[in-house]
Structure 1
């Protein structure tokens, strides 16, 4: 694995002599703008692995994307190679239909210590809930980014991350009542403690999320990528381009259906993703929202 290859993949050009906050912010943002959040292998008859070399070859050399167990594992490796002090953590994700958190830790992410101050980094939550830059690990502070306002709360050693969003604006009334549209302005993301984790702690989760019929990753094929003004996503057969407009207090959702014979073209043109095997798009009812 080669750090220069990773830098080329995310379009990072600059010095990384000092593992400082400014560089961390640049790397974080370049990653989410360059490497998609996606689960397409699952719907191409392939199995996702937590082998770091396999992940590097896929995301960097084959220019694919991945889910949190791939993206954040790769990101943690890159940060350590650059000289950052990182800790891998796990979180229980908020499930909208249940109005509560998953029983198991299903999400992997990293914290980074810079001059004694901890920062939460997460390059793979995807869609409208994706942070663009690290969040200072401090309780009760609004941290404003273009996607919205993020806030961490700590109580008795348990941290909760949430987001205050803007109202969705859907110009095409055909999509106004789709279950993909989250109209909740205050959205919990996940809950965690500071107990360190390793990749091995997620092996069972990696298997379960791919094989459990109720897993949202089983029930939806998805590919999303952050853009300079918002994000774009292909979920099942629905393609969306979302523009954040904080000055108007809205996020604008332009959505359309994609025919089967255009799916691969959309993946190539919009996400620079080329698949080796045939994709079987899936869009069954799940808790996933844009």
Structure 2
């Protein structure tokens, strides 16, 4: 039992780290544009298919397909923002969220029409799991874990050292003050959408590498992404990472007790508890 528990924790940390990539994209968009973009799941699927095409059609290695997933998903996110969400900006965050959800359904069905419902697999070498004592770790799991950490490190460096990244942080902290200091919030919003959607696309590809790609690849992640963002505190970048790892571990641990089909219940339970006991999340600040 102890071995199964520790194996689930290991798997949970790896799964949570991968989940953190699209959760960061969702959180970045919320922090700057002040609405939850529920198209994030469909954008993750777009990135997964873009990476799959890059790998299987153009023969790109994983490190080459990952930027392609970022770019295609980023452009798709920009289209969603420009065509579906921005026209409803004056109607408030709720209408923008509903528009993003509707746009996500449209994207999902476009992918279904273009690629069908068949499962698609990346062209990867078949490798046996590594055994460390009683524990097993798949080489692809470990590679995905490393790629997810690299994505997060690049995002941190972008936000910390680039002028655009600092502008994004300024708008997220205080939009009016950033405007007084000469920051263009419209430009920052567009960059944020591209970055957020691109992160979702890379996250979708990482999930597809470990499993397979189909039109619901990202849709199955939406609840977990939202739960991670809520747990960490909507708008908090560190919170998104912590929340995603916590959700990943909780989902893996739940499989020990319940049927794997019920693992998504973890997301609902986390959202319910957090919104009831601490609406601001673990790293969020309570509104005054």
The structure with the largest strand share of the pair is 1
> Shorter-chain-normalised TM-score: which range?
under 0.3
TM-score by length of 1: 0.27
* More helix, by proportion: 2
Bigger relative contact order, structure 1 or 2 (CA pairs below 8 A, ≥6 apart): 2
TM-score normalised to the size of structure 2? 0.27
